């Protein structure tokens, strides 16, 4: 199976597991079909937030369905996702955010205060269910065009 982009790989993987569990956490699980729909909706949300292809975002969270959906939405949109370690010192995470030039930090609801202390301005987004739900918008898996 040859794929030209990470987006096409994710799309085909979701199609291959269309009716099977693709991602799961303690609260929920998503089939490939549901995951692809959520990825599309979240990609539209990222676009509405003025996060574009080539931008860098940071994740300050544990593994979860919302984290996976948002991470995949970044990848299919050409956004560069970088994971911060929640056990790293705040000073080191601040330096990492400056170094990677993160436009936003996506954080678990219980880590929002810690995440807000890592970046200047209002650039922290909660990874809650409301964030990853939205209108279905088809995205292109061809990222060669700007």
Q: What is the DSSP string of 67-83?
A: HHHHHHHHHHHT-EEEE
Predicted pLDDT of residue 130: 60
Tokens describing residue 92: 């080191």
Asked if the structure places residue 66 within a domain, the reply is yes
Full pLDDT tens readout for the chain, 146 residues: 566 889 999 999 999 999 999 999 998 899 999 999 999 999 999 999 999 999 999 999 999 999 999 999 999 999 999 999 989 999 999 999 999 999 999 999 999 999 999 999 889 999 986 665 544 434 444 544 44
Predicted pLDDT of residue 128: 81
The radius of gyration of the chain's CA atoms, rounded to the nearest angstrom, is 15
Q: What is the DSSP string of 20-62?
A: SEEEE-SS-EEEHHHHHHHHHHHHHHHHHTT--TT-EEEEES-
Residue 34 to residue 36: CA distance in whole angstroms: 6
Predicted pLDDT of residue 143: 45
Domain count for the chain: 1
CA dihedral 90, 94, 73, 127 (to 10 degrees): 40
> Which residue range(s) make up the domain with 51?
6-132
Tokens describing residue 95: 């330096």
Q: What is the CATH number of the domain that holds 21?
A: 3.40.50.980
Asked if the structure places residue 137 within a domain, the reply is no
Nearest to 58 by CA among 24, 93, 87: 93
Asked if the structure places residue 1 within a domain, the reply is no
Asked if the structure places residue 139 within a domain, the reply is no
């Amino acid at each position: 199976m040859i794929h030209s982009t990470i987006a096409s790989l994710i799309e085909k993987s979701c199609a291959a597991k269309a009716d099977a569990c693709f991602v799961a956490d303690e609260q929920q699980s998503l089939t490939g079909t549901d995951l692809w729909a959520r990825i599309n909706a979240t990609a539209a949300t990222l676009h509405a937030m003025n996060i574009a292809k080539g931008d860098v975002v940071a994740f300050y969270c544990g593994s979860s369905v919302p984290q996976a959906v948002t991470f995949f939405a970044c990848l299919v949109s050409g956004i560069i996702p970088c994971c911060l370690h929640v056990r790293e010192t705040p000073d080191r995470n601040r330096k990492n955010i400056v170094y990677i030039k993160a436009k936003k930090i996506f954080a678990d609801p219980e880590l929002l205060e810690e995440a807000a202390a890592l970046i200047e301005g209002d650039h922290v987004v909660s990874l809650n269910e409301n964030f990853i739900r939205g209108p279905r918008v088809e995205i292109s898996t061809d990222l060669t065009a700007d």
